[in-house]
Amino acid sequence: MKKILVPIVFSMALLVSCSCPKENAPEKEKIAAVVNKYAAIQHKQIEIDGVSIFYREAGDPKLETILMLHGFPSSSHMYRNVIKELSNEYHIIAPDYPGFGFSDTPAMDQFEYTFKNITSVMDKFVTTLKMDKFYVMMQDYGGPIGMRLATINPNRISGLIVQNANMYLEGLGEWPQHLSVLMKNNDLEGLTKFKDHLISAEGIKAQYYEGAPDPSKIDPISYLSDVAFFDRKDIRKIQLSLLDNYGTNIAKYSEWQAYLREHQPPTLVVWGQNDKFFSKQGGEAFSKDLKNVETHFFDGGHFMLEEYPKEASTLIRAFLKKQ
């Protein structure tokens, strides 16, 4: 497997190769070997209730763990750059949900594609991996899944890292509002057309570029990977089913806000303020319910981690060191 090296590995290599006292060389070689081992992103699979779940793992399991939950229309691939930045200091687990990325895609008559059921699979996933305590990083769909996990077992949540994952009505942006108007007007033709656009190649690409001030920072492999996954049999039907199920998340906003007020998880908000799905007001709203919250806005879109992976990672690192 190709290894992805972080800067510290290079530093360790220099230490080992320098003209240091020979008695220290074996110890330095040992340290370099450990760093090199955990600098690589491992690509793994585990079976949960008969469904093969793909996940990326990096970093030493003895370190603080971050569970990274991806959004729509992406997969754990969206976190690749952040994983590289943080894996020398933290243990990271980033799964693909059923029907996403490299995880299995059970037939719709064999698996219920709802946020509740996907959360059930993710709950069993973290239990199987013996993840007793962890931070949750969540974007878009990762928000409703992550918050369901948090309310199932609040004691295992060390804190939250929120990247354009909405929990407030005021955070519903231009595109959700457009969908709401179509539904209220019973415009079934317009509703179908807009949802079909969101899951089309053109629509997936737009979700990366809309609101991005510098398109050159968007790696084409990001949206092209999503398009390739969506081109598989029945994936678009599954995604439409989940889009139709999204209203169940809005109904839980008040419950999740109550969780924030009661449990007060340390929270970092990094938010692309030009997001067409979730507006800047959604990022600002966390400060209504949380005492220990840091909020940072970027001139970016829904997938601002494509544009600002190093900047976001620096904020995450500083936030975690304070806890």
Locate the domains of the chain by residue range.
Answer: 1-40, 42-322
**pLDDT score of 42:** 97
Type of residue numbered 310: K
Nearest CA-CA partner of 135 in 167, 161, 97: 161
**pLDDT score of 40:** 82
**pLDDT score of 24:** 57
Choose the CATH number for 42-322 among 3.40.50.1820, 3.20.20.140, 3.60.9.10, 3.60.20.10.
3.40.50.1820
pTM: 0.88
For the record, the structure tokens of 73 come out as: 């229309």
In degrees and rounded to multiples of 5, residue 43 shows phi and psi of -115, 110
**pLDDT score of 75:** 98
Residue segments in the chain with a per-residue pLDDT below the cut of 50: 1-23, 28, 31-32
Q: Please identify every residue annotated as catalytic.
A: 302
* Residues 6+ away with beta carbon under 8 Å from 209: 215, 218, 301
**pLDDT score of 14:** 35
- 76: which DSSP letter? G
DSSP string, 3-47: ----HHHHHHHHHHHSS--GGGHHHHHHHHHHHHHHHSPEEEEEE
